[in-house]
Amino acid sequence: MKTTRRDLFKFAAGGAAGLLLTPAPWRLVTDTALWSENWPGIPRPVRGELRTRFTHCTLCPAGCPVKARCVGDQPIALAGLPGRPLCAFGLSGHQLPYHADRVTEGDIETVRTLVSKRAATESVAVLDLRPGRTASWTYRRAMAALPRGIYLAPQSAVPAVNLDAVKTILSLGVPVLDGWGTPAKVLAARPHFRLIQAEPMESHTAMLADEWLQLRPGSEQALAEALAGQGGGERTGLSAEQIGSVARQLAQGGALVLATQESPAVIELNHRVGAYGQTIVARREAAVPPSWRPAAPTTALDALPDRSIGVLLIDESAADVYLPWTALESKLAAHAFVVTFASSRAGYGRYARLTLPAPVFPESSDDCVPAVDSLAATFRLAVPLVTPPRGVASPTQFIAKLANLPASNALRERADAIHAVGRGTLQQYADSRVVSIKTIKRDEFWKGLNEGGSWTDDAGGKMPPLEPLPSAPAVVAMSREMRAARGPMPPLVSKLYRESNLRVRT
């Protein structure tokens, strides 16, 4: 039989048709896809032994416990504990160190030399945006050691809120359901209190509130004054009936008024509705070593004369309540030197002469202040999960060195002081064990704290009295605007802000 060119064509066509009936082409498609999946542009997750570590979140003052799933020493996922979940920010907090907008470079030694030189002749002020930490004590000790040191904090004292006693909350722009207090505790108490949100825009909390009062922008204090019987209700844009209705609800007992800034009107209103001693209570502070006691007092910004600060050092690494820059600026001398320790230039970095890179969660080694809804004192460490990059300056160590104080062991010293008092319990998250610190040794207590333990003071006992009016503390909380301005959010929060309609943009 003679093979013709036609036969060759028929064979090729038949072969091609037959090939389709074999797995070969489909295998090729799959393999091509697999190759393309592994192309160099796609990162490959690091594999290794999975470990669980515990720490506390410092992104807000709630200080929620964190269970970190790690590959080796690298955290790959954060979660809360059963009944104590994390918020959206906390869940992606382990990505913050890698934020594209992070400040990573700063000439720390040059700044130290400049500040040391000026500190000899000019007044040096430290602005602590999260007072009550061990770092705050270091700042106060350092300022006491300097000839003209001033310790500034947005709040004179941080009281506690007894959520169990709260029946009505009037919130003047505070994101009560969006990051105030300990989220788990607030949500657990939510069915038992009525929330009235007074805010110009329909924020997340306003959406979920029982009543939303849409008042004119900037008229929150006017509403507080009107409710305290000082007039001015017309400035709020609310009707007299609406204001009267709120006043009646507050008068029914168990009331609490929250604001984003300390003001006499809010203090007076809380006093009138009987909040002090009922819903706002005093809280004992965790013990500190006696040698720390000669510390600088907290100075309110208003108490400072204008143009009196020569050097201003701002610890923005843990920031809860921001003071308006205009208020700070008026206190600065003509050629004042302002340095902020921050992870980004989004906050005071826009105005300061220099921004020095500060560690971020979960790099920072710090302790957590007691949450506003915690009635007992607590001592919890934010144990670093990752090592900060080179060039990052710890504001505590910088300021302590300025006054020749040893800051590196301040947390250990305080833990020892708490242990020496012998009051309270240590909770270990790994095995949910709660032990009295009387039954453990000092080193065991320190080890337990570093493994993510939490010390809680005894609830009973003698509590300090609340300060009388007009210096009684107000419960001040960060507003949504302040929260948005304080710095970069973890990148995955883009899922909330850009890829959904979940959050209203500020």
Partner 1 sequence: MSAKRYGMSIDIDKCTGCGACMVACAVENNVPPAPEGANDRKGITWIRVFRIANGAGKTAFVPVLCQQCGANTPCVSVCPQQAVQVDPATGIVGQMPERCLGCRYCMAACPYHARYFNWWDPEWPAGMEKTLNPAVAPRMRGVVEKCNFCHGRWHAAKARAAAQGRRDIDPADYVPACVEACPTGAIQFCELSARPDGPGGFRLLEKLGTDPKIYYHSQRDWVREIAAAPGGKEKARG
Nearest to 166 by CA among 251, 256, 227: 256
- 3-state SS, residue 141: helix
Q: Nearest distance from residue 64's CB to partner 1, in Å?
A: 10
Angle between helices 5-20 and 24-37 (to 10 degrees): 60
Cα–Cα distance between 7 and 403 in angstroms, integer?
A: 96
Per-residue binding string, partner 1, 206-245, x by CB under 8 A, is: -xx---x---------------------------------
505: Cβ contacts below 8 Å, ≥ 6 apart: 497
**Is residue 76 at the binding interface for partner 1, with CB under 8 A as the rule?**
yes
- Scanning 137-145, 180-188, 268-276, 368-376 for contacts with partner 1 by CB under 8 A, the matching segment is 180-188
Q: Which residues in 459-498 contact partner 1 (CB under 8 A)?
A: 490-496, 498
376: Cβ contacts below 8 Å, ≥ 6 apart: 283, 284, 370, 424, 456, 457, 458, 459
**Is residue 361 at the binding interface for partner 1, with CB under 8 A as the rule?**
no
The residue from 7, 51, 74, 506 that contacts partner 1 (CB under 8 A) is 74
Residue 47 burial (10 A CB sphere; 0-12, 13-18, 19+): exposed
If you write DSSP's letter for every residue of 220-253 in order, what string do you get?
HHHHHHHHTT---GGGGT--HHHHHHHHHHHTTS
**Is residue 99 at the binding interface for partner 1, with CB under 8 A as the rule?**
yes
**Is residue 30 at the binding interface for partner 1, with CB under 8 A as the rule?**
yes
Per-residue binding string, partner 1, 78-97, x by CB under 8 A, is: xxx----xxxx--xx-xx-x
Q: Nearest distance from residue 91's CB to partner 1, in Å?
A: 5
Cα–Cα distance between 257 and 265 in angstroms, integer?
A: 10
The residue from 23, 46, 431, 470 that contacts partner 1 (CB under 8 A) is 46
- Scanning 114-122, 183-191, 294-302, 323-331 for contacts with partner 1 by CB under 8 A, the matching segment is 183-191
- Scanning 45-53, 132-140, 152-160, 303-311 for contacts with partner 1 by CB under 8 A, the matching segment is 45-53
CA distance to 34, 190, 499, per residue, from 42 (Å): 12, 44, 22
Number of residues that bind partner 1 (CB under 8 A): 56
Q: Nearest distance from residue 332's CB to partner 1, in Å?
A: 35
**Is residue 43 at the binding interface for partner 1, with CB under 8 A as the rule?**
yes
**Is residue 23 at the binding interface for partner 1, with CB under 8 A as the rule?**
no
Tokens of 506: 């500020």
- 3-state SS, residue 116: helix
Nearest to 277 by CA among 161, 158, 196: 161
CA distance to 20, 22, 162, 192, 287, per residue, from 413 (Å): 76, 74, 30, 41, 10
The residue from 1, 17, 21, 42 that contacts partner 1 (CB under 8 A) is 42
Contacts 24+ apart (CB under 8 A), 19-22: none
- Scanning 25-33, 108-116, 313-321, 350-358 for contacts with partner 1 by CB under 8 A, the matching segment is 25-33
Q: Nearest distance from residue 364's CB to partner 1, in Å?
A: 17
**Is residue 201 at the binding interface for partner 1, with CB under 8 A as the rule?**
no
240: Cβ contacts below 8 Å, ≥ 6 apart: 233
19: Cβ contacts below 8 Å, ≥ 6 apart: 25
Q: Nearest distance from residue 389's CB to partner 1, in Å?
A: 9
**Is residue 37 at the binding interface for partner 1, with CB under 8 A as the rule?**
yes
**Is residue 29 at the binding interface for partner 1, with CB under 8 A as the rule?**
yes
**Is residue 33 at the binding interface for partner 1, with CB under 8 A as the rule?**
yes
| Interacting residue ranges for partner 1, rule: CB under 8 A | 29-30, 33-34, 36-37, 39, 41-43, 45-48, 71, 74-80, 85-88, 91-92, 94-95, 97-100, 177-178, 183-184, 187, 204, 207-208, 212, 490-496, 498-503
